[in-house]
Amino acid sequence: MCGRYTITADADRIAWRFGAERPDFEFEPAYNAAPSQRLPVITESNGRRQVVLMRWGLIPSWAKDISIGNKMINARIETVEQKPSFKKPLLHRRCLIPADGYYEWMKIDRRKQPLRIVASHKELFSFAGIYDRWVNSDGLIINSFSILTTEPIPPISHIHNRMPLILSAEQEQNWLDGPSSPEASSVREFLNEFYPYSSLFAYPVSTLVNNPRVNEPSLISPMEQTTLNENT
């Protein structure tokens, strides 16, 4: 799964990387992006990309309560087109989730060591995402998203049995364009085009990342090996 990630670029850099219009908001780097936070998402309409803020944890348009989003932070690519909560967003509301790393926890002896997983080029990339629009009884509109996950690539498969679906730059437009037909076979054929980005590596970070309220640059600093050994 993907339950925490990083996006340390500002709004200008995000817009430049994804060829989007400059947003009308400022964005503080998220060194510990967590569910329910409002985070930058790339959408496209009529050939124009935009950077918008959305809540992490998809709230289906038909949901009665916002809390359902807490269970919808990820969508498995193997079954996403079969789930009522995800089927319509997959067909009509795909998006790119800018990121430059994500966290996973690996059990070492009797404790869980947080690791940050990044691309070898150490630049911005994107997760494949879907989103939906929910309106509460007072007319408040909340746009929210979910990150697609897939089976992990061999270099990190020992860490966790899932990973976010990281798109290569060449795959991003294909993801936004979507399937050519809503037929189940066409949708599955479309999903089968996407494979996890392969150039990733992991390094240990401070356990301060365990607290989603902590958001500071030190969270992404590699732990010294001596420090890691002391905590083992």
Instruction: Give the residue extent of every domain in the chain.
Output: 5-231
Question: What element of type H or E holds 124?
Answer: none
10 Å Cβ neighbour count for 146?
29
Which CATH number does 5-231 carry?
A: 3.90.1680.10
In this prediction, residue 31 has a pLDDT band, given cuts at 50, 70 and 90, of very high
Global confidence as pTM: 0.93
**Nearby residues of 165 by Cβ (< 8 Å), 6 or more positions away:** 77, 127, 128, 147, 148, 149, 150, 194, 196
Q: Would you please indicate which residues are annotated as catalytic (active-site) residues?
A: 2, 104
pLDDT class of 195 with cuts at 50, 70, 90: confident
H helices, E strands: number in the chain: 5, 14
